[in-house]
Amino acid sequence: MKFGIGQAVPRLEDNRFLTGGGRYTDDLTFEGEAWGYVVRSPFAHAEIRTLDVAAAKAAPGVLDVLTAEDLKHLGPMPCEAMVPGRDGKPPAAPPRPVLAAGRARYMGEPLAFIVAESYEAALDAADLVEMDLDTLPAVTDTEGALEAAAPELWPEAPGNLSLDWEIGDAKATEAAFAKAAHRVKLRLENNRVVANSMETRAAIATYDEAAGFTLYAGTQGVWGVRGALAKAIFDIPSDRLRVVTPDVGGGFGMKGFVYPEYALVMEAAKRLGRPVRWTADRSESFTSDTQGRDIVSQVELALDEDHKITGYRVESVANFGAYLSQFGPYIPTLAASMVIGGVYDIPAVYVHVRSVITNTPPIDAYRGAGRPEAAHMIECILDQAARQLGLSPIDLRRKNFIRQDQMPFTTALGAQFDSGDFEAVMERAMENADWEGFAARRAASEAAGRLRGIGMGYYIESTIGAPTEEVRLEITAQGRARFYVGTQSQGQGHLTTFAQILAERLGIEPQAVDLIEGDTQEKDGGGGTSGSRTLQMIGNAALAVCDGLIGQGRDLAARLWEVSAGDVSFDDGLFRVASRNLTMGMIELAARLGELPGGGDEALESVATYEKSGATFPNGCHIAEVEVDRETGAVRLEAYTVVDDFGTVINPMIVEGQVHGGVVQGVGQALIERCVFDADDGSLLTGSFMDYGIPRADDIPAFSFELKSTPCTTNPLGMKGCGEAGTVGALPSLANALNDALSSAGLGNVQMPATPERVWTILRAG
Amino acid sequence: MRHSIKFLLGDEPRELSSFDPTMTVLDYLRIEERRTGTKEGCAEGDCGACTIVVGSLEGEKIRYQAVNSCLQFLPTLDGRQLISVEDLPDSSGALHPVQTAMIRENASQCGFCTPGFVMSLFALYREGAAAGDPPELETINDVLAGNLCRCTGYGPIIEAARSMHQPAAGPDHFEQNSAATVAALRAIQDSQTIHLTGPDGRQSFAPTTTDALAEILAEHPGATLVAGATDVGLWVTKAQRRLDPVIFLDRLGEMKQVNETATTIEIGAAVTYTDVERMMADHYPDFGEIIRRLGSPPVRNVGTIGGNIANGSPIGDSMPPLIAAGATLVLRRGGERRQLPLEDFFIDYNKQDLKSGEFVETITLPKPAPGSRLFCYKISKRFDQDISAILGAFNLTIRDGKVASVRIAYGGMAATPRRASGAEAALQGKAWTRKTVDRAVVALASDFRPLDDLRASAAYRMQVAGNLLVKAYLEAQGAGVETRIIPYREAAHA
Ligand SMILES: Cc1cc2nc3c(=O)[nH]c(=O)nc-3n(C[C@H](O)[C@H](O)[C@H](O)COP(=O)(O)OP(=O)(O)OC[C@H]3O[C@@H](n4cnc5c(N)ncnc54)[C@H](O)[C@@H]3O)c2cc1C
Ligand code: FES
Ligand code: FES
Q: Residue A492 and residue B109: Cβ atoms within 8 Å?
A: yes
Q: Residue B114 and residue A18: Cβ atoms within 8 Å?
A: yes
**Tens digits of per-residue pLDDT, A314-329?**
999 999 999 999 999 9
- A28 vs A536: which has the higher pLDDT: A28
The beta-carbon neighbor of A18 closest among B35, B99, B152 is: B99
Find out whether B158 and A697 touch, Cβ atoms under 8 Å. yes
Minimal-distance CA residue of chain A relative to B143: A697
**Tens digits of per-residue pLDDT, B156-215?**
999 999 999 876 667 899 999 999 999 999 999 999 999 999 999 999 999 999 999 999
Percent with pLDDT over 90 in chain B: 88
Task: Please state, in angstroms and rounded to a whole number, the distance separating the CA atoms of residues A286 and A266.
Answer: 23
Q: Inform me whether the pLDDT recorded for B489 exceeds 80.
A: no
**Tens digits of per-residue pLDDT, A293-304?**
999 999 999 999
Q: With contacts defined as CB-CB under 8 Å, which chain A residues touch B387?
A: 690
Q: With contacts defined as CB-CB under 8 Å, which chain B residues touch A689?
A: 42, 44, 46-47, 148
Residue type (1 letter), A21: G
**In the prediction, which pLDDT does A237 show?**
97
**In the prediction, which pLDDT does B481 show?**
63
Any residues with CB less than 8 A from the CB of A2 and at least 6 apart, and which? none
Task: Please state, in angstroms and rounded to a whole number, the distance separating the CA atoms of residues B336 and B270.
Answer: 19
Our CA-based measurement puts residue B102 at a distance from the nearest CA of chain A, in whole angstroms, of 8
pLDDT category of residue B129 using cuts at 50, 70 and 90: low
Q: Residue B150 and residue A252: Cβ atoms within 8 Å?
A: yes
Residue type (1 letter), B196: L
Q: Residue A198 and residue B99: Cβ atoms within 8 Å?
A: no
**In the prediction, which pLDDT does B490 show?**
39
Average pLDDT over residues A386-410: 97
**In the prediction, which pLDDT does B134 show?**
82
**In the prediction, which pLDDT does A628 show?**
96
Of residues B273, B68, B308, the one with CA closest to residue A689 = B68
CA distances from B441 to A47, B52, B448 (A): 49, 46, 11
Q: Which residues of A421-454 are buried (b: 16+ CB within 10 A; e: fewer)?
A: bbbebbbbbbebbbbeebeebbeebeeeebbbbb
Q: Residue A199 and residue B110: Cβ atoms within 8 Å?
A: yes
Q: With contacts defined as CB-CB under 8 Å, which chain B residues touch A694?
A: 148, 150
The beta-carbon neighbor of B42 closest among A282, A691, A697 is: A282
Domain with CATH 3.90.1170.50 in chain A: 25-136+201-281
HEC per residue, A36-79: EEEEECCCCCEEEEEEECHHHHHCCCEEEEEEHHHHCCCCCCCC
- The second-level CATH assignment, the architecture, of A465-611 is 2-Layer Sandwich (3.30)
**In the prediction, which pLDDT does B493 show?**
30
**Orientation angle between helical segments A725-743 and A756-765, nearest 10 degrees:** 30
**Orientation angle between helical segments A725-743 and A371-389, nearest 10 degrees:** 30
Q: Inform me whether the pLDDT recorded for B487 exceeds 60.
A: no
Q: Inform me whether the pLDDT recorded for A634 exceeds 80.
A: yes
**Residue A300: Cβ within 10 Å count:** 19
**In the prediction, which pLDDT does A602 show?**
82
Mean pLDDT score of chain B = 93
pLDDT category of residue B492 using cuts at 50, 70 and 90: very low
Domains and CATH numbers, chain B: 7-190 (1.10.150.120), 194-252 (3.30.43.10), 255-476 (3.30.390.50)
**In the prediction, which pLDDT does A243 show?**
98
**Tens digits of per-residue pLDDT, A74-133?**
999 999 999 999 999 999 999 999 999 999 999 999 999 999 999 999 999 999 999 999
Our CA-based measurement puts residue A732 at a distance from the nearest CA of chain B, in whole angstroms, of 18
Q: Inform me whether the pLDDT recorded for A730 exceeds 70.
A: yes
- Beta strand pairing call for B246-248 and B203-206: parallel
Average pLDDT over residues A509-522: 94
Task: Please state, in angstroms and rounded to a whole number, the distance separating the CA atoms of residues A30 and B204.
Answer: 32
**Tens digits of per-residue pLDDT, B95-105?**
999 999 999 99
List of E strands, B116-260: 194-197, 203-206, 224-226, 246-248, 258-260
Q: Is A491 in the pocket of ligand 3 (CB under 6 A)?
A: yes
The beta-carbon neighbor of B106 closest among A490, A634, A653 is: A653
**In the prediction, which pLDDT does B486 show?**
55
- Of all protein residues, the one whose alpha carbon is nearest to atom 3 of ligand 2 is B45
Q: Inform me whether the pLDDT recorded for A699 exceeds 90.
A: no
Find out whether A377 and A296 touch, Cβ atoms under 8 Å. no
**In the prediction, which pLDDT does B479 show?**
61
The beta-carbon neighbor of B156 closest among A26, A657, A663 is: A657
Helix (H, G, I), strand (E, B) or coil at A313: strand
Q: Inform me whether the pLDDT recorded for A496 exceeds 80.
A: yes
Distance of CA A180 to the CA centre of its chain: 37
Whether the link from the prior residue into A753 is cis, omega within 30° of 0, is yes
**Tens digits of per-residue pLDDT, B331-354?**
999 999 999 999 999 999 999 999
CA distances from B92 to A379, A604, B37, B49, B96 (A): 54, 36, 19, 26, 11
Domain with CATH 3.30.365.10 in chain A: 386-464+615-765, 465-611
**In the prediction, which pLDDT does A614 show?**
84
Is CATH 3.40.50.1820 correct for A25-136+201-281? no
Q: Residue B42 and residue A689: Cβ atoms within 8 Å?
A: yes
Q: Give distance in angstroms: CA of A661 to centre of ligand 3.
A: 9
Q: With contacts defined as CB-CB under 8 Å, which chain A residues touch B157?
A: 697
**In the prediction, which pLDDT does B455 show?**
84
Distance of CA A50 to the CA centre of its chain: 39
Average pLDDT over residues A397-402: 98
Q: Inform me whether the pLDDT recorded for A738 exceeds 60.
A: yes
Residue B294 alpha carbon, nearest atom of ligand 1:
8
Our CA-based measurement puts residue A169 at a distance from the nearest CA of chain B, in whole angstroms, of 40
The beta-carbon neighbor of A198 closest among B36, B144, B150 is: B150
Q: Is residue B183 packed enough to be buried (19+ CB in 10 Å), middle (13-18) or exposed (0-12)?
A: exposed
Q: Which CATH number applies to A386-464+615-765: 3.40.50.720, 3.30.450.20, 3.30.465.10, 3.30.365.10?
A: 3.30.365.10
Q: Inform me whether the pLDDT recorded for B494 exceeds 50.
A: no
**In the prediction, which pLDDT does A159 show?**
97
**In the prediction, which pLDDT does A597 show?**
77
Average pLDDT over residues A259-271: 98
Helix (H, G, I), strand (E, B) or coil at A11: coil
Residue type (1 letter), B275: D
**In the prediction, which pLDDT does A130 show?**
97
pLDDT category of residue B240 using cuts at 50, 70 and 90: confident
Q: With contacts defined as CB-CB under 8 Å, which chain B residues touch A658?
A: 109
Find out whether B335 and B214 touch, Cβ atoms under 8 Å. yes
DSSP character string of A527-582: --S-TT-HHHHHHHHHHHHHHHHHHHHHHHHHHHHTS-GGG-EEETTEEEEGGGTE
Distance of CA B78 to the CA centre of its chain: 20
Q: Residue A250 and residue B110: Cβ atoms within 8 Å?
A: yes
Task: Please state, in angstroms and rounded to a whole number, the distance separating the CA atoms of residues A543 and A718.
Answer: 12
- Beta strand pairing call for A409-410 and A348-357: unpaired
Q: Is A198 in the pocket of ligand 3 (CB under 6 A)?
A: yes
**In the prediction, which pLDDT does B382 show?**
81
Q: Inform me whether the pLDDT recorded for A613 exceeds 90.
A: no
Task: Please state, in angstroms and rounded to a whole number, the distance separating the CA atoms of residues A418 and A584.
Answer: 40
Could you tell me the pTM of the whole model? 0.96
**Tens digits of per-residue pLDDT, A455-485?**
999 999 988 888 899 999 999 999 999 999 9
Average pLDDT over residues B300-309: 97
Our CA-based measurement puts residue A494 at a distance from the nearest CA of chain B, in whole angstroms, of 10
Residue B109 alpha carbon, nearest atom of ligand 3:
1
Find out whether B250 and B56 touch, Cβ atoms under 8 Å. no
CA distances from B249 to B2, B44, B51, B216, B273 (A): 16, 21, 22, 12, 15
| Ligand 3 pocket: which of A198, A654, A658, A664 to mutate (most atoms within 8 A of CB) | A198
**Residue A58: Cβ within 10 Å count:** 11
Q: With contacts defined as CB-CB under 8 Å, which chain B residues touch A195?
A: 150
| Greatest C-alpha distance within chain B | 72
Q: Give distance in angstroms: CA of B68 to centre of ligand 1.
A: 14
